[in-house]
Chains A and B, each alone.
Chain A
Amino acid sequence: MATFKEFRNSVKPNWCPGCGDFSVQASIQRAAANVGLEPDDLAVISGIGCSGRISGYIKSYGFHGIHGRVLPIAQGVKMANRDMTVIASGGDGDGFAIGMGHTVHAIRRNIDVTYIVMDNQIYGLTKGQTSPRSAEGFKTKSTPEGSVESAIGIMELALTAGATFVAQSFSSDLKELTSIIQKGIEHKGFSLINVFSPCVTYNKVNTYDWFKEHLTSLDTIEGYDSSNRMQAMQTLMEHDGLVKGIIYQNTQKQSYQDLAHGYSKDALAHADLNMDEQKFNDLVAEFM
């Protein structure tokens, strides 16, 4: 069995010192080892942005795609080889701005992919512009007078889009984050894990201290039931989305792979591609 060290490689991340993404990387590596994966059982697909580089920092199969398209690529990998564990990851700009269309549809499609968003409420790699997760009034290079747009309540949106696994965590809580990612991997269906991962360079508002002060752990809410969608929505709204833990999980709904008519139980990537002549003749006869 591989240990988390076997999911490490020798590449030095180009993230700023103190960036929240380091812990996300470590949590993925630990979670992968905890669920018993070998490096070649795992494919990490990532988007574009600071956080998108993560696929190159984990020793596994990795695909660093184009901006906003991490989810279609990840779903393609999973459909091609249902035996692979597929983790998709990227930033809040990648997933909730340019890639929002794919995010909503990946949620409702429910293919078994674990999507980890490193949410820092800012565009880092392009040097500090507003993100769809930036709060109203947030001042950035692109909103010098403060943003007049509302921030997306991504967890609420995921619930309405039909998500079967919705969780939120904080990069400084390595233990909880690892456990949530592990549960996300084990979940049969699409899992969305939004991780508050502070940008120490461009976001001077949503800092580590700020999150520590504002986040409420669902563990502290008495009687919180993560299978209750109504309660999940209400709790999110009461706390303006600033909660951490597994917000909602539906274990009843089957994944897309299990529901797709005729879709092979074995990895398609290893299917025999040759057709027998009789079958071909039958197909031809339909046009005669």
Chain B
Amino acid sequence: MIDQLSWKVGGQQGEGIDSTGEIFAMALNRLGYYLYSYRHFSSRIKGGHTNNKIRVSTKQTRSISDDLDILVAFDQETIDVNIHEMRDGGVVIGDAKFNPAVPEGSKVRLFSVPFTEIANELGTSLMKNMVAIGATSAVLDLPAEAYIEVVEEIFLRKGAKVVEKNMEAIRKGAAYFTDAAGGPLEGFQLNKADGQKRMFMIGNDAIALGFVAGGVRFMSAYPITPASEIMEYLIKKLPQFGGTVIQTEDEIAAATMAIGANYAGVRTVTSSAGPGLSLMMESIGLAGMTETPLVIVDTQRGGPSTGLPTKQEQSDLMAMIYGTHGEIPKVVMAPSTAEEAFYDAVEALNIAEEYQCPVILLTDLQLSLGKQSVEPLDFKKVEIRRGALDLNAELPEVEGGYFKRYELTESGVSPRVIPGMKNGIHHVTGVEHDETGKPSEVASNRLKQMDKRLRKLKNLKFNTPVVKYTPNEEAELLLVGFNSTRGVIEEVIPRLEAEGIKVNHAHLRLIHPFPLKEMKELVDAGKKVVVIENNATGQLANILKMNLGSHEKIESILKYDGNPFLPSEVFNKCKELV
């Protein structure tokens, strides 16, 4: 019996590859297994190789695996492209239709199963995916009944007959494989899972759910990979709460419309990826200068320019910290799991209102689109804090008739009112201004307002700015990362420990303002600091050096070919660095 298994299905885009993976994964999710799935796809809709790699485990896992146990192929290209990942003794199941072949000398076991033919016999070739799922299940010795719930959810609206046909396809696929192989294969049976019910979701879903729970009622956004799922979820859900989404003409409109709506008192978000964020830079400065709350999600993908639009990268870091001309208070948050993404989406909304400034919720493609098991979310942790805004305040009449929206205060945070409130009239401008918002170029006023804005984040309250694993007072290696590399680092640590290496781990959940105190302690306690990130120039490593010095002990492990790190890559480089 085994504790984890890696499975992949591949074929041409538009052939139902995603849904094959989805049905397989959901069934295992219902049994209580932990799952992690990562899609390989291209910037096109039909055609081109696509695959969905799914890891099944009895323990939490958020990293793709080094190798592959089972490959389900709908075409020869799938075998050719993915065979190098197969472990010796692994199983390839191909549709008999294309006469599947593996390279000479390969140590995999190849089974040809007539997916399409069996499906056709049942009435439609569309069901070839179900036949493939059935064959897979026979390898794992998983009963067809494990799929009934999921199949019903998908097909019951088309009638009980369709459900039965699809179940029949699964059974036939399983029976064919069992006949061909002479029974379930040894070494592919998973230990029983804990049976716990868990969510299985992509990071973007977690963020979108966090936004809905956190009181977002309006969104203005422009479609882009890998961010669109956030917008799509809110389009479906916000009308249930009286809210709505506008698909704007571009990202500049998305950001400025969100600024207008936040100014007018509605929790409004926008989401995009690098190219969109580049367009939003001037707007981010406007939000900073006018002290308007604004939450923007940046789902990083391969850059620069259009770059690798469907591939993993973490190269927007510096742009998100420093982007916009001039100097403003800004918060950059970086959740590293779907669970954190949910809570951080809620918290980003609170921080934006409490500190009246833009907040970037940073993710990366692997976190945004990778699908993972999520432990039950705690509804009690969802709280809505609006800072200095009191919608029901009865404001006194003010001298001169203008409310001091930018009043100089010790914390730097000024009282906030929204349009429509009596005696709250004030002016808002991106031009330097006085306490009532009237433009002013007076030098002394400039200094006062600039200092006021910049001191707002001096005392930023942030729960867990660094996610830590620190079993060692003195560690040989401190591994540092942000966003989705958490999964691979957590996978590598036990392997390094098994070699007797003392490892600590720091994952930054707050990137900016830099969590200096926490990171200094951790860096001081490490002989070598290894920053693991998906970019070419070591952006996070440079942030560490800027803030902490310690140049001599900071090393980088970088990957920027568009693919997530494999555990073996990180493990091997860490060993070299010890």
Contacts and interface: CB of A to CB of B under 8 A. Distances in A.
A263 B244 contact: yes
A105 B248 contact: yes
A76 B256 contact: yes
A287 B200 contact: yes
Contacts of B422: 40
A218 B127 CA distance: 67
A105 B438 CA distance: 31
A41 B261 CA distance: 16
Interface string B537-552: 0000000000000000
A69 B256 contact: yes
A174 to B, nearest CB: 25
User: What range describes how many residues of A lie at the interface?
Assistant: 35 or more
B152 to A, nearest CB: 14
B237 A283 contact: yes
B540 to A, nearest CB: 30
A77 B420 contact: no
Interface in A252-277: 260-264, 266-271, 273-275, 277
B547 to A, nearest CB: 31
Nearest to A6: B401
Interface string A78-99: 0111011000000000000000
B96 to A, nearest CB: 36
Contacts of A269: 264-266, 391, 418-420
B212 A283 contact: yes
Given A105-B249, A283-B212, A81 B425 contact: no
B47 interface: no
Given A64-B427, A79-B266, A266-B242, 12 more contacts: A39-B425, A40-B423, A41-B420, A64-B430, A69-B283, A71-B253, A72-B256, A80-B262, A80-B263, A262-B243, A277-B379, A288-B199
A4 interface: no
30 contacts: A10-B400, A41-B420, A59-B401, A62-B437, A63-B290, A63-B429, A72-B254, A72-B257, A76-B258, A76-B263, A79-B246, A80-B218, A80-B261, A80-B264, A104-B249, A260-B244, A262-B239, A264-B242, A266-B242, A268-B218, A268-B243, A269-B419, A269-B420, A273-B217, A275-B241, A280-B382, A281-B379, A284-B376, A288-B197, A288-B198
Interface of A: 9-11, 39-41, 43, 45, 53, 55-56, 59-66, 69, 71-77, 79-81, 83-84, 101-102, 104-105, 109, 260-264, 266-271, 273-275, 277, 280-281, 283-284, 287-288
Contact of B384 (A11, A102, A273, A287): A273
Contact of B283 (A66, A101, A277): A66
B215 A62 contact: no
Interface residues of B, number: 75
B257 A263 contact: no
B141 to A, nearest CB: 24
B240 interface: yes
Contacts of A80: 218, 260-266, 268
Interface string B421-439: 1111111111100000111
B338 to A, nearest CB: 9
Contacts of B261: 76-77, 79-80, 268
A270 B290 CA distance: 22
Most chain B beta-carbon neighbours within 10 Å: one of A45, A72, A81, A260: A72
Given A76-B264, A262-B244, A269-B420, A69 B252 contact: yes
Interface in B262-276: 262-268
